[in-house]
């Protein structure tokens, strides 16, 4: 089954920008006859209860998904197998650099901001042994043989970006995000990835890694983020931006969905809508291309009623 997905990290409640991206991922998937999957990316710190609240909020907006929710923490064997394959092909090496050392190297003349400069790529056996004696746990990096890669994005067109020797396994032994997401998408049949455009720059790395593993490269759709009035990524500190915060102010999930729909040009002022109605109106080419600036008190008072999730269950 070809599918799209939404893959939150259970580090806290979803804010209205996250929910907007989830709605878009659902619309892209369902409008093209794809399945829609939920994956919890829990390789890093997870807050108690966050996952349950996230799933409840998605359901309250009316989103449904296919099959069980997948957790990255239960898929460690898949990531280890992929790393073993790359290592057997001579595609990996140990890296002893600290974040500070990498930052200093990239800030130097001719350094590429954000790209690993290859400091440990050609270490001799003696040099590796010396670093190991220091007690510093090494990360494992990909030995890339390209400097850029092109992916297809439904909103941005062909996008070419830099590829460096990205981390596959962190110094603490955990698989890195770029590896896990590539392995997961292929294993789940995800051929369409809809996510925030802050991740556009990482897609060439992920696409290149997929080709090395013999996996299909998905088609992407990087959607504009929700920002605060200062032009920064929306966050909890910006006030009432989660479903629970807005409920405390008297705003229902229906109000939130209507606000999201208006921000996408899919509903008129004051109009209350269901996801099924948005699906009938959805056209990627007409989506806004600029960030959505969320102002204080973004949800205007609307008629209260049964939540979209409850309506979906009663259809």
CA distance 162 to 203: 10
Token pair of 140 as six digits: 């494992």
Average pLDDT over residues 71-77: 97
Token pair of 68 as six digits: 């069980």
Is the confidence at residue 191, as pLDDT, over 60? yes
Which phi and psi angles does 162 have, rounded to 5°? -70, 150
Nearest to 197 by CA among 73, 309, 292: 292
Q: Binding site residues, as ranges?
A: 5-9, 41, 95, 97, 116, 120, 177, 195, 236
Average pLDDT over residues 76-90: 98
Q: CATH topology for 3-73+224-314?
A: Rossmann fold (3.40.50)
- Average of per-residue pLDDT values in the chain: 90
pLDDT tens-digit map of 98-133: 888 777 765 555 455 668 989 999 999 888 988 888
The per-residue pLDDT for 98 is 85
Nearest to 130 by CA among 120, 115, 117, 139: 120
Q: Is-contact 242 16, C-beta < 8 A?
A: yes
Catalytic residue among 121, 136, 236, 286: 236
pLDDT tens-digit map of 137-146: 899 999 999 9
Is the confidence at residue 268, as pLDDT, over 80? yes
Is the confidence at residue 305, as pLDDT, over 50? no
Is the confidence at residue 313, as pLDDT, over 60? no
Could you tell me how far CA 178 lies from the centroid of its own chain? 10
Give the CATH number of domain 75-181. 3.90.800.10
At residue 135 the predicted structure's pLDDT band, cuts being 50, 70 and 90, is confident
The per-residue pLDDT for 302 is 42
Residue ranges of the domains in the chain? 3-73+224-314, 75-181
Q: Is 236 assigned a catalytic role?
A: yes
Share of the chain above pLDDT 70, in %: 90
Task: Enter the DSSP assignment of 240.
Answer: S
Q: Binding site residues for Zn(2+), as ranges?
A: 95, 97, 116, 120
What is the three-state SS of 104-135?
A: HHHHCCCCCCCCCCCCCCCCCHHHHHHHHHCC
């Amino acid at each position: 089954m070809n599918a799209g997905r939404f893959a939150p990290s259970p580090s806290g409640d979803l804010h209205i920008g996250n929910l907007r991206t989830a709605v878009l991922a659902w619309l892209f998937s369902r409008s093209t006859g794809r399945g829609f999957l939920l994956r919890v990316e829990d390789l890093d710190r997870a807050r108690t209860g966050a996952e349950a609240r996230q799933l409840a909020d998605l359901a309250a907006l009316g989103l449904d998904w296919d099959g069980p929710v997948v957790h990255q923490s239960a898929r460690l064997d898949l990531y280890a197998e992929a790393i073993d394959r790359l290592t057997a092909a001579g595609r990996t090496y140990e890296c002893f650099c600290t974040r500070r050392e990498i930052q200093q190297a990239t800030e130097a003349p001719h350094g590429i901001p954000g790209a690993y400069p290859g400091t440990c790529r050609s270490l001799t056996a003696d040099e590796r042994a010396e670093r190991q004696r220091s007690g510093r746990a090494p990360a494992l990096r990909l030995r890339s043989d390209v400097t850029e890669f092109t992916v297809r994005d439904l909103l941005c067109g062909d996008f070419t970006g830099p590829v460096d020797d990205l981390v596959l396994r962190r110094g603490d032994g955990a698989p890195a995000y770029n590896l896990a997401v590539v392995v997961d998408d292929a294993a789940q049949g995800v051929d369409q990835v809809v996510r925030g455009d802050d991740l556009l720059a990482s897609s060439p790395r992920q696409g290149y890694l997929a080709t090395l593993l013999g996996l299909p490269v998905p088609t992407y759709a990087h959607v504009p983020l929700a920002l605060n009035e200062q032009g920064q990524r929306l966050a909890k500190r910006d006030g009432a931006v989660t479903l629970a915060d807005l409920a405390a102010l008297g705003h229902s999930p229906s109000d939130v969905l209507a606000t999201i729909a208006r921000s996408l040009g899919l509903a008129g002022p004051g109009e209350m809508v269901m996801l099924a109605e948005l699906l009938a109106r959805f056209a990627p080419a007409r989506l806004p291309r600029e960030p959505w600036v969320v102002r204080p008190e973004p949800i205007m008072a609307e008629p209260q009623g049964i939540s979209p999730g409850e309506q979906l269950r009663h259809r």
